[in-house]
C-alpha cells in the first residue's frame, strides 16, 4: 500500500494542468466544468462504493479504484477534445469514490488488534509519503513541461498504471460480519450507517465536519495568490514555497504517532486546528514574511488533522460497515464544501485578507467546539460491536453511556 501511495502521489501534471488543457483547446470555463463533472461523479458513486466494499473483498474495490484512475490518466494524456477530457474526469471520480473510505477501512482492519494504538502513526507515515511524492512530482512535472507540455500527463499515466499493478498484490480482506444480526439489504445497511453517523457526536465531528473543514483549509491554495501579490512575494518563489510547505507537513506527519503519544488525540487535533487558525490569521497581515509563514502553517494544519480524525472515526465504526459510513460522511462533507466554496469565492473577490481573517475565526470556533465533544466522548472505552445501531434505533453504545454515565 505504501508503494502504491507513492506512485499515486506522483501527479506530475498538477502544476501545469491548466496550461496542458488550454494547449488542447479548452478554455478556463471548460476546465471548471470538468471539475464539476469530477465532483458529481464522486458524489454519485461514493456511497454505493462504500456499500459494495462492506459486502465483498475490499481488495477488489481498491484495485478497481486504482484501475479507474489509471484509465482516467491515460485518457487525460491522450485527450484532444472536451469529450475525452470529460470522460477522463468522470472516470477519475469513480476511482476516487472507490478509494475514499475503502482504503481507510482496509488499512485500519489490516492493523488487527493494535489498530487503535498504531493507526495514527501509520496514517501519518502514509500521508508523509504521499506529500513527499507530490513535491517530487511537482518539481519533475515542471521540468518536463519546460521541454514538452504533454510529458507530465504521460508520466502521470505511467505511474498510475504502475500503482494499479502494485495493488493487485494486496492480500484480500472481507469485512468481519455481525454473526448475530440478520442478513441485511443494501438499503437497510445504508440506514444503519446513517443512523450511526447522526447519533454519534464525535463521529459527526471527525468524519463529516472534518471533510467540510478540509474544504475551508484547501481554499488557501487560491487565496494565497492574491495575498502573495499584495505582499510582493516574487512569483518565481511561489512553487518553492508551496513545495516547502508540503515538505514541512510531510515531516510533521511522519512523527504524527509520536505527537499523539505525547499530547493525546484531543490536544493533537486542537494543535492541528491551531496551526490553521494562526496561519490564516497571519495571512491577514500584508507582509511577505507573515503571509508566507501563515501559508505554511495552514498547509501544515490541513494535513496534521488527517491521521487523528481517521483514527478516531475508524475506531468507532464497526468493521462490517466501516467503508459505508466513511463514504457517507465524506459525501456529506463534500456537499457542505460545495455550499461553502461559492461563499469563499464571493469573499475572495471583495477582500482576500478579510476572507482569510473570517476563516481564522470560523476555524477557531470549530476548534473550541471540539473540546467538549472530545472531553465527553473521546476517552469512552467501547467496542466496535457496541456501536452498531439496530434498525430505527440509536446505536447501542449510546444506550450503554446513558446507563453507565459519561465521563
Per-residue burial over 94-113, b if 16 or more Cβ lie within 10 Å, else e, is bbbbbbbbbbbbbbbbeeee
CA atoms of 310 and 342, how far apart (whole Å)? 27
- Eight-class DSSP state of 177: P
- Eight-class DSSP state of 14: G
Long-range contacts (CB closer than 8 Å, 24 or more residues apart) made by 201-205 = 201/373, 201/376, 201/377, 202/312, 202/316, 202/373, 202/374, 202/377, 202/378, 203/313, 203/316, 203/317, 203/325, 203/329, 205/369, 205/370, 205/373
pLDDT digit string, tens, across residues 257-312: 888 889 888 899 899 999 999 999 999 999 999 999 999 999 999 999 888 888 88
Could you tell me which of 405, 389, 403 has the C-alpha nearest to residue 200?
A: 389
- Domains with residue ranges and CATH for the chain: 1-174 (1.20.1250.20), 186-407 (1.20.1250.20)
pLDDT digit string, tens, across residues 77-125: 899 899 999 999 999 999 988 888 888 888 888 888 878 788 888 878 8
CA atoms of 121 and 116, how far apart (whole Å)? 10
User: pTM score > 0.75 for this model?
Assistant: no
Percentage, residues of the chain above pLDDT 90 = 19
Q: How far is CA 42 from the centre of its chain?
A: 13
- Eight-class DSSP state of 101: T
C-alpha pair distances (Å), 50 with each of 72, 163, 177, 383: 21, 21, 15, 22
pLDDT digit string, tens, across residues 356-389: 999 999 999 988 988 888 887 776 444 444 455 5
Amino acid at each position: 500500500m505504501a508503494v502504491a501511495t507513492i506512485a499515486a502521489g506522483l501527479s506530475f501534471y498538477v502544476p501545469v494542468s491548466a496550461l496542458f488543457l488550454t494547449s488542447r483547446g479548452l478554455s478556463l470555463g471548460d476546465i471548471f466544468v470538468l471539475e464539476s463533472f469530477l465532483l458529481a461523479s464522486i458524489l454519485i458513486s461514493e456511497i454505493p462504493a462504500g456499500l459494495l466494499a462492506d459486502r465483498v473483498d475490499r481488495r477488489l474495490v481498491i484495485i478497481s479504484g486504482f484501475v479507474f484512475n489509471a484509465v482516467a490518466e491515460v485518457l487525460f494524456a491522450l485527450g484532444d477534445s472536451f469529450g475525452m477530457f470529460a470522460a477522463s474526469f468522470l472516470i477519475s471520480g469513480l476511482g476516487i469514490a472507490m478509494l475514499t473510505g475503502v482504503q481507510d477501512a482496509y488499512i485500519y482492519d489490516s492493523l488487527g488488534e493494535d489498530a487503535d494504538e498504531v493507526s495514527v502513526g501509520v496514517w501519518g507515515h502514509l500521508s508523509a509519503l504521499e506529500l513527499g511524492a507530490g513535491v517530487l512530482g511537482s518539481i519533475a512535472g515542471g521540468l518536463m513541461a519546460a521541454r514538452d507540455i504533454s510529458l507530465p500527463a504521460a508520466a502521470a499515466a505511467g505511474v498510475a498504471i504502475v500503482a494499479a499493478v502494485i495493488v493487485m498484490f494486496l492480500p484480500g480482506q472481507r469485512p468481519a460480519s455481525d454473526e448475530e444480526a440478520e442478513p441485511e439489504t443494501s438499503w437497510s445497511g445504508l440506514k444503519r450507517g446513517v443512523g450511526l453517523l447522526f447519533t454519534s457526536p464525535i463521529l459527526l465531528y471527525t468524519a463529516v465536519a472534518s471533510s467540510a473543514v478540509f474544504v475551508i483549509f484547501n481554499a488557501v491554495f487560491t487565496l494565497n495568490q492574491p495575498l502573495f501579490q499584495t505582499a510582493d512575494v516574487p512569483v518565481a518563489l511561489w512553487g518553492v514555497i508551496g513545495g516547502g510547505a508540503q515538505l514541512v507537513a510531510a515531516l510533521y506527519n511522519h512523527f504524527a504517532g509520536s505527537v499523539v503519544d505525547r499530547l493525546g488525540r484531543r490536544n493533537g487535533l486542537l494543535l492541528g486546528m491551531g496551526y490553521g487558525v494562526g496561519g490564516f490569521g497571519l495571512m491577514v497581515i500584508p507582509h511577505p514574511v507573515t503571509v508566507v509563514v501563515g501559508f505554511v502553517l495552514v498547509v501544515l494544519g490541513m494535513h496534521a488533522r488527517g491521521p487523528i480524525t481517521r483514527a478516531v472515526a475508524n475506531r468507532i465504526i464497526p468493521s462490517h460497515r466501516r467503508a459505508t459510513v466513511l463514504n457517507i460522511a465524506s459525501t456529506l462533507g463534500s456537499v457542505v464544501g460545495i455550499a461553502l466554496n461559492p461563499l469563499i469565492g464571493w469573499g475572495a473577490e471583495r477582500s482576500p485578507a478579510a476572507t482569510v481573517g473570517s476563516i481564522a475565526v470560523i476555524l477557531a470556533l470549530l476548534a473550541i467546539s471540539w473540546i467538549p465533544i472530545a472531553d465527553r466522548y473521546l476517552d469512552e472505552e467501547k467496542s466496535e460491536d457496541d456501536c452498531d445501531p439496530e434498525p430505527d434505533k440509536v446505536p447501542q453504545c449510546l444506550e450503554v453511556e446513558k446507563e453507565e454515565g459519561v465521563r
